[in-house]
Amino acid sequence: MAEMRAVDIHGGKGNISALHITTVPKPRPSPAQALVKVKCFGLNRMDLLQREGLYPVPEGASKILGVEFSGTIEELGEHAEAGGDFKKGDEVFGLAYGGAYAEFIAVSTRMLVKKPEGMGWEEAAGIPETWITATQALYHISHFTPGKSILFHAAASSVSIAGIQLARADSASAIYATARSDEKCSFAVNTLGATAAFNSTTTDWVQEIVKATNGRGVDIVIDFVGADFFAKNLEVVAKDGVIVNLGFLGGTELPQGTNLSAFIRKRVTFVGSALRSRDVEYQGKLRDELVEHALPRFKDGRFKVLIDRVLSWEDVQEAHRLLEENKTRGKVICCVY
């Protein structure tokens, strides 16, 4: 059986020190898949949770960490080849259900995108999960349209970085953000173009946003914090507004006495969503939207993949440490050298 190197976890789950590179069986593509030789892979917070045994892997998916990558097509399944869209040697990036922390990955061709000429491997590896998640949250979950206002929490996270750029390009009336440092707030305004950003640890960001919107609030809130911001999000959301929850950095249990009256008083919609648990058909439609809506703007430079750090995959422990410290502004990328 052919073998390859991949990142593994001692004991199946554990802390950062459990990560190591070992030899595992090389995957074989199914008829509808391509085998891609991985150049780089992007890190996401779900990787930290999966490493600790707190994120269930979709049924049938590789247990190897990682869902986004860039690389070259090594082999095509018979049905994938018959489609004619891809050929051996094509430079691609894509989204998978798992398996990206490795030298090779087998993935549905439905989730592959041809890498534009001139785009770096590192940049390409930072697009799929991040930008598809932002696309899903804005257009499919919150139903963002030009003229709406929006608040992104965790402004320096990769999904918010993508979302702020998408909202700006599609004429949001105002884009607000929160972050846990003044540096990240400045980054959101001066680099990303947010209307205003507020330090959530040193300012009353609820009152600042209420003041900035003349008491109206924002039409859409994109939240990764969860319990800690739940009640505050209800204060800043406008009537008929939408709150989209994508994570639980601030916990999952609401304090006793949390007031839910805004749900009726403001006619609020609260939606929780995830991408990895969706089927290929759903993800494929988002992939098409990414290609049609965002890829041309990557090509002409209007959209940027902001990368905080590029490391060798031999330094995967350090890469996970960077994410856990919450000090990054943009993607952490590992390259398979």
- Domains and their CATH numbers in the chain: 3-127+278-335 (3.90.180.10), 131-272 (3.40.50.720)
The secondary structure of residue 84, as a DSSP letter, is -
Q: Among 79-93, 120-134, 229-243, whose mean pLDDT is lowest?
A: 79-93
Nearest-5° angle of CA 116, CA 121, CA 124? 60
Q: Give Cα separations from 142 to 3, 19, 161, 163, 246 (angstroms).
A: 44, 37, 17, 12, 12
Tens-place pLDDT, residues 239-291: 999 999 999 888 889 989 999 999 999 999 999 999 999 999 999 999 999 99
Q: What pLDDT is stored for residue 79 in this prediction?
A: 75
Residue 265 and residue 272: Cα distance in Å, rounded?
20
Residue 308 and residue 325: Cα distance in Å, rounded?
13
> Considering all CA atoms of the chain, what is the largest pairwise distance in Å, rounded to the nearest integer?
66
DSSP string, 184-243: HHHIIIIIT--SEEEETTTS-HHHHHHHHTTT--EEEEEES--HHHHHHHHHHEEEEEEE
State the average pLDDT over residues 43-59.
95
The secondary structure of residue 64, as a DSSP letter, is S
Q: What pLDDT is stored for residue 81 in this prediction?
A: 57
Tens-place pLDDT, residues 74-95: 999 987 755 558 999 999 999 9
Q: What percent of the chain has pLDDT over 90?
A: 93
Q: Give the strand pairing for 196-199 and 174-179.
A: parallel
Residue 99 and residue 233: Cα distance in Å, rounded?
35
Return the higher-pLDDT residue of 78 and 156.
156
Tens-place pLDDT, residues 209-228: 999 999 999 999 999 999 99
- Res 122 pLDDT > 70: yes
Residue 18 and residue 13: Cα distance in Å, rounded?
7
Query: 199 is written with which tokens?
Result: 């330090």
Residue 184 and residue 191: Cα distance in Å, rounded?
10
Tens-place pLDDT, residues 96-110: 999 999 999 999 999
Q: Average per-residue pLDDT in the chain?
A: 95
Q: Are 205 and 163 in contact (CB under 8 A)?
A: no
State the average pLDDT over residues 308-315.
98
